[in-house]
Chains A and B, each alone.
Chain A
Amino acid sequence: MDKQAQKNFSRDLRQNEFSDKQLAIVAHPLLRQAFAEIQAEAQEGSAGSSFGEGGP
């Protein structure tokens, strides 16, 4: 495995490879909020909307 394969710019937390306990050690509120939203997204099985017409 080369270095590029070992490191990534992003990581898909929807794969549930990380437990709540692991993520809970992150202190920043905006990151905790993001993790919670991604977990909710994974549970909903929703890919969310992606409109772009100035939609709310």
Chain B
Amino acid sequence: MSKTQTVFCVSPARAGAGNVADLLIKAVDATNADPTKDRRGCYKRGDVVAVKPTGWQWGKEEGPPRFVRLTLTQVDGVTPVWSVPKGWTPDQPIGEPPADLKKYLQSELDFFYQPTKRRAWTCLLDSAAAPVTTDLTTKGTSSLTVDVAKALMQNKSTGLTDASAPALL
């Protein structure tokens, strides 16, 4: 394991009661010479790969250089909505993300429900505030409130961000 990955894995951002979920986000483009496969199948920088509750134990390779991770805190900064339940063991389902976050995992579909893009939403990582981009560059992880994160989530089809949606919590 690289030194960078070690820092990433022991990130203290997960411990607080104000965290709601972690987003695992692709940091680099995958490409394919076949334009259909490239568009439909390849993850691009900013695509959300997984949403897990705060406290989730991420894998050793779920960090730089392929991924970054955003820990989302609630708007009130206090009440956790989705964290690993006390006493949870791996043989129990962890459940699925809140709907407002689960949508970031959806593919873009055509009229016949066939996928046209791997993800319908992208996280505008390069548009984040300087402290966040610095954290992502140096540590591979950062923390944001949900409302700030939503302002960074852009629908690939409409070009609109998710900031105008109702508050998550």
Determine if chain A interacts with chain B: no
Interface, chain B (partner A; CB < 8 A): none
Interface, chain A (partner B; CB < 8 A): none
